[in-house]
Structure 1
Amino acid sequence: MALSPDDYRRASGFRRSMAPRASAGPALSGPIVAYDTHSLSDPALLEMMRGDGGRVGVTGIAVNERLALRNSTFFRATALQCGSMGMLPIHLRRRDGRNSEKATDHPLFNVLHRKPNDFQTASRFKSYMQLCALFDGNAYALKIKSRGAIRQLVPLPRRRVKPRLTDTFDLVFDYDRPSGGRVTLTTDDVFHFGTPLTLDGINGISVLDVAADTLGLAVKAQQAAARLLTKGSMAAGALETADELGSEAIQNLKASLRDDYAGSGAEHDWMILEQGLKANPFGTNARDAQLVEVMKREAEEVARFTGVPRPLLMFDETSWGSGIEQLGLFFVTYCLMPWFVIWEEAIWQWLLTPVEQQTYYAKFNEGALLRGSLKDQAEFLKAAMGPNASYLTPNEARDFMDRNPLPGGDDLPRPGTSAAAVMQEEDQNAA
């Protein structure tokens, strides 16, 4: 039975305010509430009861999403993946024999490319769904239909949907509504995709689950560094003597150090010591050096879990050089390309009818991440329109550079023919 948009909103727990709220009177007329309330079915309640509310690893630290995002390497990797997926446009295309074109007349085209729902842009929707898949292993959105066509995709609240197979091997989704109660949704109601790896064929594996030990150890290393900075010794060295110094000698020594050997100009000066004083500089001990190595190692481990290349995670010791284009190609091919396929297949499977699946398909435009410098683009277009093996028309090349078409620019260049000869031949054909 088809549900109306209002039924979908009631099933998902989303409500619209029909009138503005009335003023509550003076600001201090009522008690100040300094706590949050949760329903018994709210996943946030379980997290609150568990303390930090996260995955407990070998370090004993419960790693949740907020703690994980405080790790600079993990935050950078997450922001790169989610930001890239949100930035890249996705188009619904129509295949007609050997030709393909954008299906701009299909209602789903505008949903995917411009306006997925009433409160999110396309980039924000894609970024959020990508983050849900990374952190939870799965991402879910409710289909809002009108006249048989999908008009909106509304993300379902996180950790409230559980997919399962029925006895007849039909996939359904048990959804716990924020207002209370559970409703079972079918594949006609839900748009769903997950991470590439799965242990049961349905639920994807969360990055936070597999990286909990690494992130927890990184937190321990940061806590140890914080204790060193707050409680450890930060002096450069000590002055030692077997004799006893009087208070006047100590004051003179402090004044000499402050006036003669402080500041940026005294890095390599030699001190003149009196009364048998000997300098004993402090060096980095093995424990401090080991702490630095642990922090560096955990940053590399986070990079392996996320699949983002090291230079993109701002590892300074890695040289970029002239390989920036190959670096971008590596990021797209080995980190984002699996997600392109997952998104495109999920759109084809969950958002198109069996009849539409014969003609329509979704396609990410990853060319925005693979474009090189203006010089490289000019060389590519020159080769694409070359006289010997041209496969781009002048107008297609101008469209590639976001420029308007020119009259007569829809024909491929003919090999071995000058522009003047082409114009003369056209004049003769017109006569």
Structure 2
Amino acid sequence: MILGALYEQRSSLESPATSLSSETLGELFGEANGIAVSPATAQKLTAVYACIYVLSSTMAQLPLSVLRKVGGRIEAATDHPAHYLLHDEPNQWQTSYRWRETKQAHTLGWGNGFTRIVRSRRGELQVLEMCEPQVTDLVKNGSRWIYSTQDEDGYPLAVAPEDMVHLRAIGSGRRMGTSPIRQNAETIGLGLAAVRYGKEFFEGGGRPTGLVSLKDGKLSPEAWERLKKAWKGAVARLKQSDNKTLLLPADLDYKALTIAPEDAQFLETRKLTRSEIASMFNVPSHMINDLEKATFSNISEQAIQFVRHSVMPWVKNWEEELNRRVFTRAERLAGYYVKFNLAGLLRGTPTERAEFYRIAIQDGWMTRNEVRVLEDLNPQAGLDSMLLNVNTQLLGPDGLPLPVTPKE
């Protein structure tokens, strides 16, 4: 069992290492085929690691900005302390990318991702410190809920809910998320068992174990001991030698006992498990290099579906949690908020972008300089005016076309 992966319910704020109950790792995260399934052991399965990596790296690479809406206009709030912390460096140990990647991985593995907000005495943001989910829990101290965790030196630390950014996976309660790995321990355990079976099979020389029996007659105790010693020596030499043939005396018979991999549908089991794990994390199979049923036509559509149905829910989860914890109520009323930019993930081919920009410019809802900015080009003079297709008529408040004033 991997104790580091054990998610414990804490009994007190003074001793986070003390568990509230005697639940075992198998009870908390599940056990299948004699294999303890935890976030640490589950990531030894390639499909689980790939799904967590895909979602975590996607959330980490999205541009994250602090914006402010004032009088109907939206402007970048680069002067707010949250901008530097969220966009560049949340703490001295992590970049924004690493912080978001790790926090998302914690949420997918343990069901909860925690970040402590450190403020000055004046209430200004200073640092966003990552908290490990293995040592962090929500406990009730009298009539108030408090997060019990540890600081960087391992000392107990109590954090108020308003100072903890708590990202949750789907859970059965309002306060804590539930680990997807715990909820699907049987499926992951089957995959780990298949990996272990394949490892043991090939370590044994690629041969099933069997039973050696005497064809005729009986063996004396002395002959039996000599036979066991000779057999052990032969097997040991077989593992160390390039000769993969084991010779038996003529009066001995060998019968295989282990089911061969093809009879156990070893490859089919691994493929099915990989597909089920991709479904568990809501990741398209081709995103974890399962291209068996993928085609060039449907991969493009699946990439769009990945953004809409896999990434977008997490984006919304992140934005709402950051907005309610990073900003005070007064700042939210003043128009401050955070926003992920999904445009990079939905960026099409040059032909598709050119057609999109052409329509946007001709219909008059984008300027040519705005298009240049999206393409990482510098603005040019004279390209800030809106263009309108000559075949398009402007309508007045009554819905009737406005009269066209001839130029003098």
Fold-level similarity (TM above 0.5) = yes
Shift of 1:231: 3.2
Q: Go from structure 1 to structure 2 and tell me whether the alpha carbon gap of 1:297 and 1:97 turns closer, same or farther (over 3 Å shift).
A: same
Partners of 2:25 and 2:127 lie apart in 1 by 37
- The amino acid of 1:379's aligned partner reads E
Shift of 1:185: 1.7
Name which of 196, 199, 224 aligns with 1:223.
Answer: 196
Give the aligned partner of residue 358 of structure 2: 382
Partners of 2:176 and 2:81 lie apart in 1 by 29
Give the aligned partner of residue 58 of structure 1: 32
1:139 aligns with 2:119: no
Q: Is the 8 A contact 1:143 1:190 kept in 2?
A: yes
Give the aligned partner of residue 368 of structure 1: 344
Please show how residues 13-24 of structure 1 align to structure 2 within 5 Å: none
Shift of 1:107: 1.1
Give the aligned partner of residue 105 of structure 1: 79
Q: Is the 8 A contact 1:53 1:63 kept in 2?
A: no
Shift of 1:164: 3.8
SS at match of 2:270: helix
Deviations, residues 211-253 of structure 1 (Å, cap 9, x unaligned): 2211111111122222333336579xxxxxxxxxxxxxxxxxx
Name which of 366, 369, 376 aligns with 1:402.
Answer: 376
Partners of 1:106 and 1:286 lie apart in 2 by 60
Partners of 1:207 and 1:382 lie apart in 2 by 44
1:201 aligns with 2:174: yes
Q: Is the 8 A contact 1:142 1:153 kept in 2?
A: yes
Give the aligned partner of residue 415 of structure 1: 389
Q: Is the 8 A contact 1:54 1:63 kept in 2?
A: no
SS at match of 1:385: helix
Shift of 1:324: 3.4
* TM-score (structure 1 length as normaliser): 0.69
Q: Go from structure 1 to structure 2 and tell me whether the alpha carbon gap of 1:177 and 1:227 turns closer, same or farther (over 3 Å shift).
A: same
Shift of 1:54: 7.6
Size of the alignment, in residue pairs? 326
Give the aligned partner of residue 321 of structure 1: 296
Q: Is the 8 A contact 1:311 1:320 kept in 2?
A: no
Q: Is the 8 A contact 1:161 1:176 kept in 2?
A: yes
Give the aligned partner of residue 396 of structure 2: none
Shift of 1:130: 0.6
Partners of 2:157 and 2:48 lie apart in 1 by 35
Name which of 101, 122, 125 aligns with 1:150.
Answer: 125
Partners of 1:234 and 1:316 lie apart in 2 by 30
Partners of 1:316 and 1:182 lie apart in 2 by 47
Give the aligned partner of residue 187 of structure 2: 214
Shift of 1:375: 1.4
SS at match of 1:91: strand
SS at match of 2:344: helix
Partners of 2:152 and 2:355 lie apart in 1 by 56
SS at match of 1:367: coil
SS at match of 1:370: coil
* TM-score (structure 2 length as normaliser): 0.72
Partners of 2:204 and 2:134 lie apart in 1 by 41
- The amino acid of 1:401's aligned partner reads E
Q: Is the 8 A contact 1:160 1:177 kept in 2?
A: no
Name which of 142, 149, 158 aligns with 1:175.
Answer: 149
SS at match of 2:327: coil
Name which of 118, 121, 138 aligns with 2:92.
Answer: 118
SS at match of 2:300: helix
Deviations, residues 121-146 of structure 1 (Å, cap 9, x unaligned): 11001001111111121111121223
SS at match of 1:326: helix
Shift of 1:86: 0.5
- The amino acid of 1:230's aligned partner reads E
Percent identity of the aligned residues? 26
Q: Is the 8 A contact 1:54 1:65 kept in 2?
A: no
- The amino acid of 1:369's aligned partner reads L
Partners of 1:231 and 1:43 lie apart in 2 by 43
Q: Go from structure 1 to structure 2 and tell me whether the alpha carbon gap of 1:286 and 1:73 turns closer, same or farther (over 3 Å shift).
A: closer
Deviations, residues 99-123 of structure 1 (Å, cap 9, x unaligned): 2122111111111111111121110
Which of 360-369 and 91-100 deviates more? 91-100
Q: Is the 8 A contact 2:373 2:379 kept in 1?
A: yes
Shift of 1:342: 0.9
Shift of 1:378: 1.1
Partners of 2:26 and 2:112 lie apart in 1 by 22
Partners of 2:207 and 2:147 lie apart in 1 by 57
- The amino acid of 1:320's aligned partner reads T
Shift of 1:148: 2.2
Partners of 1:53 and 1:286 lie apart in 2 by 31
Q: Which runs of 5+ in 2 are unaligned?
A: 1-14, 209-258, 392-406
Q: Go from structure 1 to structure 2 and tell me whether the alpha carbon gap of 1:287 and 1:113 turns closer, same or farther (over 3 Å shift).
A: same
Partners of 1:95 and 1:78 lie apart in 2 by 34
